[in-house]
A and B are shown apart, each in its own frame.
Chain A
Amino acid sequence: MSAAAIAEPMLPRPFRVVASRRETGDTVTLELVPLAGSVPDFAPDQFKPGQFNMVYAFGVGEVPVSLSGDPADGGRMVHTVRAVGAVSRAIAAAAPGSVLGVRGPFGSAWPMAEAEGRDLLLVAGGLGLAPLRPAIRQALARGERFGRIAILYGSRGPAEILYREELAAWGQRPGATVALTLDHADAAWEGHVGVVPDLIPGVSFDPRNSVAMLCGPEVMLRFTARALLGAGVPAERIYVSMERNMKCAVGLCGHCQFGGDFICRDGAVLRYDRVAARLAVREV
């Protein structure tokens, strides 16, 4: 377990939306602060990159959403939400001033300590950049502790690129590389077109002394992990973030099971060698 237990894990605590920024056509980033006095034990800097919250829209329902802010920002919970269902639509539509319920943070974290002293590969597909953003920001803020930092990001098209300005800024940092690729580009796009694993040969890193953190759709995870293995990265230094149905988020309801793991409790971040065989089987 990567974080201290929460006193009342089943009770949503009210948080006020203080900022909402549109990222793409259906995706927004919300910043939340606890309602005054209502969350006495709230310590926003205690979450770890890779963890998630259960976010509740009053009267609509609750969904897991990864934390996409930096713990060092202090005072704010940041969530990037894509409006795809009734609940996520309600959350994404929450205007500044409105109140959402939050349970969490829950789940495992990206292995930031293990990655120190090594090259770091942060590979995202689509919305998968959101759960990696805390790891990216933490790594860049402590750049001297890591080797080379490569951020590889695949997006559907130019309009679906998340954190566009930040990506550009990240690429300016010494020792950091940002490589983007699109499934479908337009004529204005001058970058790479194709799938994320194709970006790997263009990045300089020492495969024997790297840690890779992967987040995106499962197909992308499978192909990227295999490409990294092929490049010589050991399976035990590749980490993937998984998605399954979640209700309780504390390992009691059974919904998120993936083989022997509860994604909410043992994941969402799991070591690739632990899940590789299961990822190959359909409908696990």
Chain B
Amino acid sequence: MRSDEAQAEPGEAAAGAGQRAPRRLIARDQLGALIQTLAGSGYAVIGPTVRDGAIVYDEVRGVADLPAGWTDRQEAGRYRLERREDGALFGYAVGPHSWKRFLHPPAELLWRARRTEDGFAVEAAPPSPPRFAFLGVRACELHAIAIQDRVFLGGTYRDTGYAARREGAFVVAVNCGTAGGTCFCASMGTGPGVSAGFDLALTELVGDGGHAFLVEAGSEAGATVLAGLASQPATQAALAAAEAVVEGARAGMGRRMETAGLKELLQSNPEHPRWDDIAARCLACANCTMVCPTCFCTTVSDRTDLAGGEATREKRWDSCFTADFSFIHGGAVRASRRSRYRQWMTHKLAHWIDQFGTSGCVGCGRCITWCPVGIDITEEAAAIRAQATGPGKPEVTHGDA
């Protein structure tokens, strides 16, 4: 989907595929040391943890906070945690959270204004971004971050808050060993193995009585942290085992998206009957946009204190599924669920390519899993392809009376 070069973020020594740093092995307990090291360097360490029956991303203080021995079973409209037989720490696919929750938070103060004798004065929100260390970033999620980098940092106007949080972030990626039932990253070219965009990348090797991690540094900062851990050179057996882990995930991929010609297909089929079919099921609940790791839309919320002396503007996540989203004088441009789903899916898989040079989908499957009625973007794309009507006016066949 994208070249490795394009994924490398600013200020990071990109680890090109040809010149990867030698990989090292660390024991399970060294993961705790890693968390301590990062926390000790001033990072807020965010990683997977079990809460309310799901694996979510939150602050982690040690290995004990990680979801040891848990996995997730996912299907369209279904998510359930189950016990694994081993004690794997990263033995799940992805949960309802993505890292955008931290880099592009659900609410952010933009400015504060107060009345003055001469009108009013506006003050920008003070920049005080926490430095995040993300532990357990999947390949699809690295791609999602790279996509949001393009959205927020690639144009004339940059999102300065995002830029600050992004520049300060330390990324510990994890190669996937377990594909979820709704995953389709292999067909999107975004996983399940990580290739770039990380400071450290882990492959969890568990079984045969052992539990260790193969570690690869992807940046200077990553190499420095790795050097501080107790590690050994990777054995041939460990390298082979790591490769098998990723291959296992690739083979277990629950779904597939055909991407050939997908942009043109969707852009030339705005009147496809399938949109009506989807509209009959879609609740316009916006879940898909909230869980999507690349959906970036926001609105602003202006508030004034009761005395009318101080006003604030906050930026908040918004969704193209709400009625307000497209409101202009008179009403909503996209009044029907049909038009809102069409907008979301066509934007994600087609317009995004025109806008940012990449698809907006990374194949993580969250929108499928967390849709309350189980609408499956891969199935919908396939259905539109199956009876595509081509560019121009829809072909309507009429039987003789």
Contact = CB atoms under 8 A, between A and B. Distances in A.
Contact of A248 (B298, B302, B326, B335): B298
A254 B122 contact: no
A114 interface: no
B6 interface: no
A255 B311 contact: no
Nearest to B162: A252
A197 B357 CA distance: 38
Interface stretch (B150-158, B192-200, B221-229): B150-158
B304 A255 contact: no
B43 interface: no
B328 A99 contact: no
Contact of B157 (A5, A11, A257): A5
B270 A284 contact: yes
A8 B113 contact: no
A254 B300 contact: no
B124 A255 contact: no
Contact of A257 (B151, B327, B338, B343): B343
Secondary structure class of chain A's binding surface, majority of residues: loop
Contacts of B115: 58
Interface in B326-340: 326-329, 333-336, 338-339
Contacts of A251: 155-157
Contacts of B122: 11-14, 101
B297 interface: yes
A43 to B, nearest CB: 17
Interface string A194-220: 000000000000000000000000000
A246 to B, nearest CB: 9
Contacts of A255: 297, 299, 318, 325-326
Given A35-B119, A250-B157, A244 B328 contact: yes
A169 interface: no
A262 B347 CA distance: 12
Given A8-B124, A12-B113, A253-B297, A85 B329 contact: yes
B113 A84 contact: no
A60 B118 CA distance: 18
Nearest to A283: B339
B361 to A, nearest CB: 16
Contacts of A99: 118-120
A142 interface: no
B5 interface: no
Contacts of B155: 250-252, 265
B29 interface: no
Given A252-B157, A254-B298, A260-B355, A281 B304 contact: no
A98 B157 CA distance: 30
Nearest to A246: B328
A257 B351 CA distance: 10
Contacts, number: 119
Given A8-B124, A11-B122, A281-B270, A59 B308 contact: yes
A1 B328 contact: no
Interface centre among B156, B267, B298, B318 (most CB of A within 10 A): B156
A8 B271 CA distance: 41
A243 interface: yes
A265 B115 CA distance: 31
Interface string A1-32: 10001001111111010000000000000000
A191 interface: no
A245 B355 contact: no
Interface in B377-396: none
B111 interface: yes
Interface in A225-266: 243-245, 247-248, 250-255, 257, 259-260, 262, 265
Contacts of A259: 267, 351
A189 B326 CA distance: 38
B111 to A, nearest CB: 6
Interface of A: 1, 5, 8-14, 16, 35, 38, 58-62, 84-85, 98-99, 101, 243-245, 247-248, 250-255, 257, 259-260, 262, 265, 281-284
Given A253-B315, A283-B335, A283-B336, 7 more contacts: A8-B124, A99-B120, A245-B325, A253-B318, A255-B297, A255-B318, A284-B343
Interface of B: 110-111, 113, 115, 118-122, 124, 151-152, 155-157, 159, 267, 270-271, 296-300, 302, 304, 308, 311, 315, 318, 320, 325-329, 333-336, 338-339, 343, 347, 350-351, 354-355
23 contacts: A10-B110, A14-B118, A14-B119, A14-B121, A58-B115, A58-B119, A58-B120, A58-B304, A59-B311, A60-B302, A98-B119, A245-B327, A247-B298, A248-B298, A250-B155, A251-B155, A251-B156, A254-B296, A255-B318, A255-B325, A257-B347, A260-B354, A284-B334
